[in-house]
């Protein structure tokens, strides 16, 4: 005797087509717009709460923004330096407000004047006593090359004969704007320093 089976799970071809079409139409109806990125909230969260940088950038930013010059005014360029410290040119805008009497608390030496050989050992001693890292700005023709006194027997023909110089600011004397430009050049140089040595 033949046993008949229930056939409720078997579809005809047309039923199968209709069933699939229904599923597809439902999917299409819900797919009119692209789905949003589920991690989109993360961009806003990161931009508000996380600052990405390098240790070098951070160290250099701190150093170039808080340069402390040591007092070293051997001659007449000093008057232009002094005016840079005044309210009109306002050197403190560049983080250099504090002139240090002690070289151990300073990291930049601005050579504001002619250097004689008699003074040279003292200036080199000041430089040697400054904290590392340290920088030198040669201010004025005398600081760069001895200037108009270059051929004199008692004048050092440039500070770079006794200490390393990072930035040269020409003029006799240089205008305050020129010294400020030299300070900014030094800050740009500091910004490129590598402090973290990779092995």
Residue among 63, 81, 108, 114 that touches ligand SF4 (CB under 6 A): 114
To the nearest 10 degrees (0 to 180), the angle between helices 78-85 and 176-191 is: 70
Polymer length of the chain: 199
Q: Is 136 in the site for ligand SF4 (CB under 6 A)?
A: no
Residue among 69, 103, 147, 176 that touches ligand SF4 (CB under 6 A): 147
Q: Which residue's entry shows tokens 């930049």?
A: 108
| Cβ nearer to ligand SF4, comparing 115 with 190 | 115
Choices 26-34, 88-96, 137-145, 158-166; region in contact with ligand SF4 by CB under 6 A: 137-145
φ/ψ bin of 72: left (φ > 0), alpha (ψ from -120 to 50), beta (otherwise): beta
- Least Å from the CB of residue 95 to ligand SF4: 25
How far apart, in whole angstroms, are the C-alpha atoms of residue 110 and residue 121? 16
CB 113 within 8 A of CB 143: yes
| Cβ nearer to ligand SF4, comparing 77 with 156 | 77
Would you state the structure tokens that stand for residue 44, as one six-digit string?
């806003």
Query: What residues line the site for ligand SF4 (CB under 6 A)?
Result: 75-77, 113-114, 140-142, 147-148, 172-173
């Amino acid at each position: 005797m033949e046993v008949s089976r229930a056939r409720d799970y078997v579809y005809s071809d047309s039923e199968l087509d209709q069933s699939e079409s229904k599923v597809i139409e439902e999917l299409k109806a819900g797919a009119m717009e692209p789905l949003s990125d589920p991690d989109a909230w993360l961009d806003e969260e990161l931009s508000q709460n996380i600052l990405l940088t390098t240790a070098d950038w951070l160290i250099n930013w701190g150093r170039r923004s808080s340069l402390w010059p040591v007092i070293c005014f051997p001659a007449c360029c000093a008057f232009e330096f002094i005016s840079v410290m005044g309210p009109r040119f306002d050197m403190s805008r560049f983080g250099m407000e504090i002139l240090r009497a002690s070289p151990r608390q300073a990291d930049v030496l601005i050579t504001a004047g002619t250097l004689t050989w008699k003074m040279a050992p003292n200036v080199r001693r000041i430089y040697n006593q400054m904290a590392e890292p340290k920088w030198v700005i040669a201010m004025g023709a005398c600081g760069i090359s001895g200037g108009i006194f270059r051929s004199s027997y008692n004048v050092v023909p440039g500070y770079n004969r006794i200490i390393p110089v990072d930035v040269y600011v020409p003029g006799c004397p240089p205008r305050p704007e020129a010294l400020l430009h030299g300070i900014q050049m030094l800050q740009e140089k500091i910004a490129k320093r590598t402090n973290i040595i990779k092995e």
